[in-house]
């Protein structure tokens, strides 16, 4: 009886040994050959999943002032677990980093009522920051009315650039109350309804999409800044809003400093973005002419006769200049 108890205990211990597999001897083998063989199983290294919502919620400072040339247009887009929310990323050094995020209002009662009745009309909000640099942080808004089926007739564009650029835009989803909170480069909030994607609070205000059948009379996205800092906005139908001339017409940019000046200041986009053509192309570069907020503020003060000293107190530090290739 004692021998049977010892044998049972030995078999139980062997069965409970972690990460091992018992391989029995072939049927018909002799007693000397029936000793079990132990094979060690190696555990595969655990691969961490990229948590996009956690990364989007980080309030990071820009990593450099200027965009490095190899990464100016480097980005891919993927969906998230939040309905309608997608993010842009790139992978320098095989490390995934977020360079923007976007979501669509494809039908809502106050802003895009036609989108509730037919498929197609939409307002898109895209918060972009190529190469995680300060140079081109902006909000791009596109109203696509889907009336004619022609891109240049139906798509109405607006960009808003916020200053000082202290951080990269971030996003937090409050599942409990159905809201999305976006933090602008100035640190100010904008609140969206997570279902309709309509703005419900913060420093931006939106008006309904204009569905005028005349493309010449239709208004570009009417989204306005009501915060404490500076915003520059440009708008255009069917073309890049930063152009100083479109189809032979001279265009303007508007500078808003609503906490100090009630009236917007008008300025040529050529004083802010490079209008020279790309090498081997007829289209302008449209890259920022000024490496830092301070350089831009000096241009605005001279042109608009404004005092921006209060903004300089919150100005972000200078990082790496445009055109560098180090990380």
The terminus-to-terminus CA distance of the chain in angstroms comes to 73
Mean per-residue pLDDT, 169-190: 93
Write the DSSP string, 161-213: EEES--S--EEEEETTTTEEEEE-TTS-EEEEETTT--EEEESEEE-PPP--S
Q: What is the pLDDT of residue 18?
A: 47
Can you give the C-alpha Rg of the chain in angstroms? 29
Phi then psi dihedrals of residue 130, to 5 deg: -55, 135
Q: Determine the structural domain holding residue 171 and report its residue range.
A: 52-312
52 burial level (CB within 10 Å; 0-12, 13-18, 19+) = buried
Q: What is the pLDDT of residue 83?
A: 87
Residue 34 belongs to a domain? no
Residue 246 belongs to a domain? yes
Q: What CA–CA distance (Å, rounded) separates 242 from 137?
A: 14
Contact 189, 183 (CB under 8 A): yes
For residue 87, give Cα distances in angstroms to 75, 121, 229: 10, 21, 26
Query: For the ranges 82-86, 98-102, 175-179, 292-296, which has the lowest average pLDDT?
Result: 175-179
Residues 6+ positions from 147 with CB-CB distance below 8 Å: 153, 154, 211, 213
pLDDT-derived band at 3 (thresholds 50, 70, 90) equals very low
**DSSP assignment, residue 94?**
G
Q: What does the block give as tokens for 87?
A: 């993010």
Of 77, 73, 102, 96, the C-alpha closest to 88 is: 77
Residue 12 belongs to a domain? no
Mean per-residue pLDDT, 57-63: 95
Mean per-residue pLDDT, 115-131: 96
Of 120, 119, 84, 85, the C-alpha closest to 101 is: 85
Q: What CA–CA distance (Å, rounded) separates 104 from 89?
A: 18
Residue 42 belongs to a domain? no
Residue 125, pLDDT above cutoff 90: yes
pLDDT-derived band at 269 (thresholds 50, 70, 90) equals very high
Mean per-residue pLDDT, 115-142: 96
**DSSP assignment, residue 273?**
B
pLDDT-derived band at 278 (thresholds 50, 70, 90) equals confident
Residue 38 belongs to a domain? no
pLDDT-derived band at 283 (thresholds 50, 70, 90) equals confident
Percentage of the chain beyond pLDDT 90 is 72
Instruction: For 195-237, write each residue's pLDDT tens digit.
Output: 999 999 999 999 999 999 999 999 999 999 999 999 999 999 9
Q: Domain total for the chain?
A: 1
Of 297, 317, 295, the C-alpha closest to 307 is: 297
Residue 45 belongs to a domain? no
Residue 5 belongs to a domain? no
Q: What CA–CA distance (Å, rounded) separates 112 from 118?
A: 11
């Amino acid at each position: 009886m004692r021998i049977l108890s010892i044998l049972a205990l030995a078999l139980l211990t062997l069965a409970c040994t972690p990460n091992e597999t018992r391989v029995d001897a072939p049927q018909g083998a002799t007693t000397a050959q029936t000793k079990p063989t132990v094979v060690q199983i190696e555990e595969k290294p655990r691969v961490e999943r990229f948590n996009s919502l956690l990364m989007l919620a980080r309030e990071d400072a820009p990593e450099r002032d200027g965009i490095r040339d190899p990464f100016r247009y480097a980005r891919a887009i993927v969906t998230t677990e939040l309905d309608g929310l997608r993010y842009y990323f790139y992978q320098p050094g095989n490390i995934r980093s977020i360079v923007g995020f976007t979501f669509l209002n494809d039908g809502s009662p106050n802003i895009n009522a036609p989108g509730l009745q037919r498929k197609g009309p939409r307002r898109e909000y895209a918060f972009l920051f190529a190469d995680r640099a300060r140079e081109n942080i902006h909000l791009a808004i596109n109203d696509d009315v889907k009336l004619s089926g022609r891109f240049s007739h139906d798509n109405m564009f607006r960009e808003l650039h916020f200053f000082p650029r202290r951080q990269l835009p971030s996003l937090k989803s409050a599942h409990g109350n159905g809201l999305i909170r976006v933090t602008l480069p100035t640190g100010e909030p904008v609140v969206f309804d997570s279902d309709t994607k309509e703005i419900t609070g913060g420093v931006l205000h939106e008006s309904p999409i204009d569905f005028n059948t005349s493309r010449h009379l239709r208004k570009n996205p009417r989204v306005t800044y009501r915060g404490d800092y500076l915003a520059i906005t440009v708008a255009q139908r069917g073309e890049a809003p930063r152009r100083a001339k479109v189809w032979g017409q001279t265009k303007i940019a508007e500078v808003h400093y609503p906490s100090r000046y009630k009236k917007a200041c008008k300025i040529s986009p050529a004083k802010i973005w490079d209008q020279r053509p790309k090498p081997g192309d007829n289209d302008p570069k449209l890259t920022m002419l000024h490496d830092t907020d301070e350089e831009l503020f000096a241009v605005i003060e001279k042109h608009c006769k404004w005092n921006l000293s209060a903004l300089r107190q919150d100005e972000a530090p200078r990082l790496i200049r445009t055109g560098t290739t180090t990380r």
